[in-house]
Amino acid sequence: MSVKNLFDLTGKVALITGGSRGLGLRMAEALGEMGAKVAITARKADELKEAEAHLKALGIEAMTISNDLSKFELIPNMVDQVIDRFGTIDILVNNAGATWGAPAEDYTADAWNKVMNLNINGLFFLTQEVGRRCMIPRNSGKVVNIASVTGLAGGPVGTTTIAYNTSKGAVVNFTRALASEWGKYNINVNAICPGYFPTKMSARHLEKIGEALIASTPLHRLGAEEDIQGTALFLATEASRHITGQYVVVDGGAGIAC
């Protein structure tokens, strides 16, 4: 197989959660540019409408589904809609996520459950649904989970996002465990651990630590949204067919700085 063909997604179908903006939309662009049909989900219909128009303007065949992944009972219907439109799901990018800032001693049960239900519970139930309906029967599939560098360490001093950090740590080990189970079905399960990107979710936190973070990062910059595209494409294509159960850190080297 030629190198170009290793990265070709012509005829493949990708479902990307949290795909209406930010990193999710950039990953949808990357997969779509390489030939995939793209389904994106998010909660806000207006943002989805804008994202769909943006993708179609790039020549990408796309559909959108307004959905809240923390409402687990709605997941089968969401998968139904993608299958009805495109026939199957070859690639699942679990990108949707939420955070909540509060000191651990003051964290409420509602805040904790909100983050966990979206970041890990909904991720599991969606992956399970796509796996048993689309990937396992066809003995083929790519699952790309978006974790975080905060799932690999405690986070900078002063951060108070314990539920987010915990959930992303769970995503990392979920990736390992599922890769071990689903390897027999020829399904690759990998994760991306982004560092700090200037997204809507991270904006308030970066106001506090952004300058110090840049100064201590070997590449001396924050991640741009486009910096996630190559890694996502690699893990979604045949170029990564002998890689599973791994996570790739995309942080400009911040995690190796002493």
Surface-to-core class of residue 226, CB atoms within 10 Å of its CB (0-12 exposed, 13-18 middle, 19+ buried): exposed
What confidence category does residue 215 fall into, taking pLDDT thresholds of 50, 70 and 90? confident
Crossing angle, helix 22-33 and helix 229-236, to 10 degrees? 50
Catalytic residue among 164, 185, 196, 247: 164
What letter does residue 224 receive in the DSSP assignment?
P
What's the number of CA atoms in the CB half-sphere (13 Å) around residue 182?
28
What confidence category does residue 196 fall into, taking pLDDT thresholds of 50, 70 and 90? confident
Q: What is the pLDDT of residue 254?
A: 86
Residue 164 among the catalytic residues? yes
What are the beta bridge partners of residue 42? 66
Mean pLDDT of 51-64: 98
What are the beta bridge partners of residue 41? 17, 65
Mean pLDDT of 79-98: 98
Task: Name the token pair of 169.
Answer: 């740590």
What letter does residue 27 receive in the DSSP assignment?
H
37 backbone dihedrals φ, ψ, rounded to 5°: -85, 135
Other CB atoms within 10 A of residue 49 CB: 13
Question: Global pTM?
Answer: 0.94
pLDDT tens profile 103-152: 999 999 999 999 999 999 999 999 999 999 999 999 999 999 999 999 99
The residues spanned by each domain of the chain are: 3-251
| Domain 3-251: which CATH number of 3.40.50.720, 3.90.1280.10, 3.40.50.150, 1.10.1040.10 | 3.40.50.720
Do residues 51 and 64 lie in contact, with contact meaning Cβ atoms separated by under 8 Å? yes
pLDDT tens profile 2-36: 999 999 999 999 999 999 999 999 999 999 999 99
Q: What is the pLDDT of residue 210?
A: 56
Query: What is the gyration radius of the CA atoms in the chain, in angstroms?
Result: 18
CA 88 to chain centroid, in Å, comes to: 19
pLDDT at residue 208 tops 70? no
pLDDT tens profile 143-194: 999 999 999 988 777 788 999 999 999 999 999 999 999 999 999 999 999 9
Q: What is the pLDDT of residue 214?
A: 82
Which of 81-90, 193-202, 212-221 has the largest mean confidence? Answer: 81-90
CA distance 120 to 166: 10
Residues with Cβ within 8 Å of 117's Cβ and at least 6 positions away in sequence, in order, are 70, 72
Comparing CA positions, the residue from 105, 128, 103, 125 lying closest to residue 116 is 125
Q: For residues 109-135, b (16+ Cβ closer than 10 Å) or e, as one string?
A: eebbebbbbbbbbbbebbbebbbebbb
CA distance 193 to 188: 17
Comparing CA positions, the residue from 244, 227, 236 lying closest to residue 26 is 227
pLDDT tens profile 59-80: 999 999 999 999 999 999 999 9
Higher-pLDDT residue of 220, 249? 249
pLDDT at residue 203 tops 60? no
